[in-house]
Amino acid sequence: MLSGLTQEMSVEYATVLMTSVIGTYTLIGGLGATFYVSFFNTALICALMLVFVVRVYDDPGDVNNPLGTRERYAWML
């Protein structure tokens, strides 16, 4: 199949050309996917940290929580 697509090219040149095209496509696509996944993971971690902080510092329904209200937190500081 390679010889039929590249009749006027040498086999070595066609192999290097195909390898470079596939490698470049993978590199660009791989880097893009890495950036998207990194952004999603960072957004997920920030959201979970925000939920955790709100749950720990502002939970007025739990009477055993020493940091249940803003007034108690200010008094402890």
pLDDT at 71: 75
pTM of the model: 0.47
Residues 66-75 have pLDDT tens digits of 666 677 777 8
Choose among 58, 55, 53, 76: nearest CA to 68: 58
Backbone φ and ψ for 28, nearest 5 degrees, come out as -65, -45
The 3-class SS string of 12-64 reads: HHHHHHHHHHHHHHHHHHHHHHHHHHHHHHHHHHHHHHHHHHHHHHCCCCCCC
Task: Give pLDDT tens digits for 25-59.
Answer: 777 777 777 788 889 999 999 999 998 888 777 76
Q: Are 56 and 69 in contact (CB under 8 A)?
A: no
